[in-house]
Amino acid sequence: MPDEQAVLNPTTGWILLAIFSVLWIGLGVYWGRKNKSFEDHALAGRNVGLALASATAAATWITSNTTMLAPQFALQLGIWGMLAYSTASFGLFLFAPIAKRIRKLMPNGYTSGDFMRLRYGRVAWGIFLVFTLFYSLTWLVSMAMAGGIVLNALAGIPYVYGMSVILAVCVLYTMRGGLYAVIGTDFIQSVIIIVGIVIAGFAVLSKVSMAEIHTNLTANSPALLDVLFPAALIAIFNNLLFGLGEVFHNNVWWSRAFAFREGVGQRAFIIAGLVWFPIPIAAGFVALASGALGVAVPSADMVGPLVIANVLGSVGAIAIFIVVFCSLASSIDSLLAATSDLITEDIYRRIARPTAKPAELKNAAQMITLALGIGAWAVCLPRIGTLASVLFFAGPLVASMIWPIVTGLYWKRASRLGAISAMVLGSGIGLWSYFSIGWYVASLIAAMVSMVCVLLFAAFKPEEFQWQELQEGDQ
Amino acid sequence: MSFSSGFLTALVYLALIWCAGSSIALLALLWAEWKEGRLW
What is the percent of chain A where pLDDT is above 70? 95
Contact A48 B40 (CB under 8 A): yes
A122: which DSSP letter?
H
Helical H segments across A277-399, by residue range: 279-288, 290-293, 303-342, 358-380, 389-393, 395-399
CA–CA separation, A268 and A80 (whole Å): 27
Q: First and final CA of chain B: distance in angstroms? A: 51
Q: List, for residues A144-163, the tens digit of each pLDDT value.
A: 988 888 888 888 899 999 99
Contact B3 A225 (CB under 8 A): yes
Q: How confident is the model at residue A368 (pLDDT cuts 50, 70, 90)?
A: very high
Q: Answer yes or no: are the C-beta atoms of A361 and A349 closer than 8 Å.
A: yes
pLDDT of residue A143: 86
Minimum-distance CB partner of B2 among A47, A201, A218: A218
B-chain residues near A201 (CB < 8 A): 12, 15-16, 19
pLDDT of residue A385: 61
Q: List, for residues A310-332, the tens digit of each pLDDT value.
A: 888 888 888 888 988 888 888 89
A-chain residues near B12 (CB < 8 A): 201, 205, 210, 281-282, 285
Mean pLDDT of the A398-415 span? 95
Q: Model ipTM?
A: 0.95
Q: How confident is the model at residue A390 (pLDDT cuts 50, 70, 90)?
A: low
Q: Answer yes or no: are the C-beta atoms of A402 and A248 closer than 8 Å.
A: yes
Q: Answer yes or no: are the C-beta atoms of A33 and A181 closer than 8 Å.
A: no
B-chain residues near A275 (CB < 8 A): 22, 26
pTM: 0.90
pLDDT of residue A386: 60
A3-391 topology per CATH? Sodium/glucose cotransporter (1.20.1730)
Contact A214 B5 (CB under 8 A): yes
pLDDT of residue A387: 56
A475: which DSSP letter?
-
Question: Residue A223 carries which side chain, given as an amino acid letter?
Answer: A
Mean pLDDT of the A457-474 span? 88
B-chain residues near A180 (CB < 8 A): 40
Contact B18 A222 (CB under 8 A): no
Q: How confident is the model at residue A81 (pLDDT cuts 50, 70, 90)?
A: confident
Q: How confident is the model at residue A341 (pLDDT cuts 50, 70, 90)?
A: very high
pLDDT averaged over every residue in chain A: 89
Which residues of B lie closer than 8 Å to A, measured between beta carbons? 1-5, 8-9, 11-16, 18-20, 22-23, 25-27, 29-30, 32-34, 38-40
CA–CA–CA angle A249, A254, A255 (5° rounding): 140
Between helices A303-342 and A159-207, what is the axis angle to 10°? 130
A461: helix, strand or coil: coil
Neighbours of A440 (CB within 10 A): 16
Neighbours of B34 (CB within 10 A): 13
CA–CA separation, A84 and A96 (whole Å): 21
pLDDT of residue A2: 45
- How many Å is the Cα radius of gyration of chain B? 17
Within 8 A by CB and 6+ apart from A210, the residues are B5, B8, B9, B12, B13
CA–CA separation, A438 and A351 (whole Å): 38
Instruction: Specify whether the backbone of A216 is left (phi greater than 0), alpha (psi in -120 to 50) or beta.
Output: alpha
A198 CB within 8 Å of a chain B CB: yes
Question: Residue A203 carries which side chain, given as an amino acid letter?
Answer: A
CA–CA separation, A54 and A15 (whole Å): 30
pLDDT averaged over every residue in chain B: 93
B-chain residues near A228 (CB < 8 A): 1
Neighbours of A91 (CB within 10 A): 24
pLDDT of residue A3: 52
Residue A242 has pLDDT above 50, yes or no: yes
Contact B5 A210 (CB under 8 A): yes
CA–CA separation, A195 and A201 (whole Å): 10
Q: List, for residues A108-120, the tens digit of each pLDDT value.
A: 999 999 999 999 9
Mean pLDDT of the B7-13 span? 95
CA–CA separation, A325 and A323 (whole Å): 6
Mean pLDDT of the A336-354 span? 94
To test the contact with chain A by mutation, choose from B17, B26, B27 the residue with the greatest count of A C-beta atoms within 10 A, namely B26
Q: How confident is the model at residue A71 (pLDDT cuts 50, 70, 90)?
A: confident
Within 8 A by CB and 6+ apart from A45, the residues are A34, A39, A180, A259, B40
For A95-99, A117-121, A288-292, A298-302, which range has the lowest pLDDT when averaged over its residues? A298-302
For A403-435, b where at least 16 C-beta lie within 10 A, e where not — what string? Answer: bbbbbbbeeebbbbbbbbbbbbbbbebbbebbe
3-state secondary structure string across B1-40: CECCHHHHHHHHHHHHHHHHHHHHHHHHHHHHHHHCCCCC
